[in-house]
Structure 1
């Protein structure tokens, strides 16, 4: 009965408030449509729809799929998170060993020159001093029964830490994949903005040539030509910042992929090459606490804090231990384990702290306070999760409406510009009206491109806010589970490592490849 006892609280996941939801009012199930432009499709929210583990494939871009997969293989943050999880799992296996007896072997040979004085003799002279030789060998066993469950609570705490590292790894996967997708969208947006700006520059250049021709004919004043030249220069000035931002975004993508900036292989994106998913998942509010990696990480920390309370309580209770040894002790090594040379010992002990100036009690109170802190952080993480989903849903609706109106504004601006150009050629309007139409059209194009990119980014944000479907992933590196297959004995490879082969395989930074290379041969 005592062996089944575990002091301290048993952990249970906190409940989410029954009335928790993403919005006070009912949100529309379908967004607005902006027509046939890239990113203009209407999107429908499907309640309870599952999220694929590779959600980025819904954008239907083979180039994007390849980049995300490369990032998940080569990114250093992923490699570090995998190593942290592997370390945490190995520490769990190490703590589990405390539930078993420990057995050790000892062998010794002692030669000692003893002074006769120690035997009460006053004889002097080196010839009369005996030299003793003692040979001994023994097996020693020790065991600490986990009567009050302190060891099991410690294992529970370490296992919760491993669970935390597991969800930190999932959060790293989710953040990295979202960053790669968003970076690809930014690259596409910037490239389209640069293309639109170059078209506007060409339009303004053609208009400047026309004005110069009319000035030579004396139809207009020099001020109109100079104004057009200034407007063209201003438009050209907007191009270098876009090109700089494009280059910096490319460098950022290379970092996500684990490449150096000079290893850019020229992957290109434009918004037309990305498909906007038309059906989007909307998880039930009660499912968010199970789907979000950051919420599960906070839950694991709360579980660890709960287990640490049990550890602190058990430290205040009696500690039991059993030790024993069996061996042989002789003067001549050849007589070890012969008849009459056996020695043994068996001891049991109970230790109960009596006075420690309140140290153990304060440590228990500190553990309770740590639990309260973790509980508050858990509630805060859940609230932030709902906030992220709510923001993503609002952005989907608002940005769809914005793109719809921006497409209409661009079409109107283009028609206004065409009309102003025709009227200007006929002398029906002054140059100022033409210049205003040009600037309006230029702003409308750039704003429309940004509105298109926002819809792709909003979709990515929703997948990220809902957890990214990590529970459907099939590419988990098995090496992160550690090796629970032996009880601490060094392997033969560790004791007698093989010499390096003449044609050794090249070193790799891919943790999955490294794990396969490190597997022992059967």
Structure 2
């Protein structure tokens, strides 16, 4: 029997078919999906009034330094951030998700290349005498068959479904990278804010303890004056009430202080209640001398959550292309070459090698509307991703606007609180002297003491707010751009 000559014509035809697929291949679906930001309200203009209190300059068009937390001038804070970056569990989880997404993107790219597989099989076979040739030697009923072959398969991506899957996988990798950046910025910002809040609560606890000592001193003075009949029992009782009120503030502050220490422990990767490294006090934290004021375009480019939303939108657009390509014809090429013989050494001897070349085209005809509905679902996901991107951009602008508004008012509040505290301290000093001389009433004493405690608390809170809103502005403009590869 003459074997048909498939060598030259078939190989030539398959090469031409592959060339046709490479030349005429096209991608379906949106290639670079965008969304008009003009659908959103106009980008607000950021106007900064001169800051009162410690000087802070706003750099229009500036960007935060990659290690922006060092601008607070605290080596203890720097050490805490370094520890959090090395041991925080949220960052470890985000890093694992990033590595997974990158490997999946690499796997998707590999799926578009020719697939080559090699195989070897050895069989020990005994034939049935009934089904064998009657003249066959009985010793030939038992024999060994060796088979080895190499198979090559290649799907021609004529309509870009494979390329769309690669784009989607790469976009998912970019989303994971941006989410890692967002997690990194969040961890650093939350840690800095927790350290600031802990320092603030520590200062408030000291102020509360000072107020308690002052009230005890004044109570002792009133009791002495009561003994000589200068004041009555009602005056002493009023001061006892004031002392108890001051003492009642302390447990709440201590509870909040312990909570912040537990939060710091979690952020640096240790169990709450564990011994913590050195922490800066409120006076050890300096306001950064200059703050970045990024332009709206830079905010969109640098905010990791906005970048993640943009990558999510591109990935959704690629998924639409994949869904469309699934409804179009698919072309595959495959070939195999091998040998088969009873002896291992004879598999590729004359007459034993075999080969095959196969080309196939498949066109979906009826899938109960499944493929069409999948395309519509992908298009709906793209619309949702576009809306998510617009929302992320607006949220970014809103965060910057809130932080700037806070900084504008914080400086004024801090200046007013500092003046009020100085006046209250001076007034309380005068009242103490008058009390010692017996020329002040209980009401004046109580008012001066309460005003002084409130002024100290307001000054601490105003300083804390300015430090916290400084962190909020840096976080709102995207933090320092790190060297994460995309």
Q: So what's the TM-score if we normalise by structure 2?
A: 0.91
Deviation for aligned residue 1:184:
0.7
Deviation for aligned residue 1:162:
0.2
- RMSD over aligned Cα atoms: 2.1
Aligned twin of 2:31: 10
Question: Aligned ranges for residues 46-57 of structure 1 at < 5 Å?
Answer: 46-57=59-70
Deviation for aligned residue 1:2:
4.5
Secondary structure of the 1:100 match is coil
Deviation for aligned residue 1:128:
8.8
Q: Deviations over 1:18-72 (max 9, x none)?
A: 983335xx62342222xxxxxxx13222210121111101111111011011101
Deviation for aligned residue 1:13:
4.3
Deviation for aligned residue 1:465:
0.3
Structure 2 CA distance for aligned equivalents of residues 334 and 19 of structure 1: 78
Larger mean CA deviation between 3-12 and 65-74 belongs to 3-12
- 2:21·2:156 contact (CA, 8 Å) conserved in 1? no
Alignment equivalent of 1:30, drawn from 50, 53, 76: 50
Structure 1 CA distance for aligned equivalents of residues 65 and 451 of structure 2: 42
Structure 1 CA distance for aligned equivalents of residues 299 and 36 of structure 2: 12
Secondary structure of the 1:21 match is coil
Secondary structure of the 2:422 match is helix
Secondary structure of the 1:139 match is strand
Does 2:194 match 1:217? no
- 1:29·1:44 contact (CA, 8 Å) conserved in 2? no
- Cα gap change, 1:114/1:325 in structure 2, threshold over 3 Å: closer, same or farther? same
Aligned twin of 1:78: 91
Aligned twin of 1:150: 161
- 1:182·1:460 contact (CA, 8 Å) conserved in 2? yes
Aligned twin of 1:91: 104
Structure 1 CA distance for aligned equivalents of residues 48 and 338 of structure 2: 80
- Cα gap change, 1:218/1:369 in structure 2, threshold over 3 Å: closer, same or farther? same
Does 2:145 match 1:134? yes
Secondary structure of the 2:90 match is helix
Deviation for aligned residue 1:262:
4.5
- 1:325·1:344 contact (CA, 8 Å) conserved in 2? yes
Q: So what's the TM-score if we normalise by structure 1?
A: 0.84
Structure 1 runs, 4 residues or longer, greater than 4 Å off: 126-129
Alignment equivalent of 2:412, drawn from 397, 401, 426: 401
Aligned twin of 1:327: 338
Larger mean CA deviation between 301-310 and 337-346 belongs to 337-346
Does 2:205 match 1:194? yes
Structure 1 CA distance for aligned equivalents of residues 49 and 457 of structure 2: 29
Secondary structure of the 2:395 match is helix
Structure 2 CA distance for aligned equivalents of residues 161 and 183 of structure 1: 32
5+ residue gaps, structure 2:
1-19
- 1:21·1:285 contact (CA, 8 Å) conserved in 2? yes
- 2:150·2:336 contact (CA, 8 Å) conserved in 1? yes
Deviation for aligned residue 1:247:
1.6
- 1:6·1:152 contact (CA, 8 Å) conserved in 2? yes
Does 2:386 match 1:375? yes
Structure 2 CA distance for aligned equivalents of residues 216 and 61 of structure 1: 52
Question: Aligned ranges for residues 3-402 of structure 1 at < 5 Å?
Answer: 3=22, 4-17=25-38, 20-23=42-45, 27-33=47-53, 41-118=54-131, 130-402=141-413
- 2:265·2:276 contact (CA, 8 Å) conserved in 1? no
Aligned twin of 1:444: 455
Secondary structure of the 1:238 match is helix
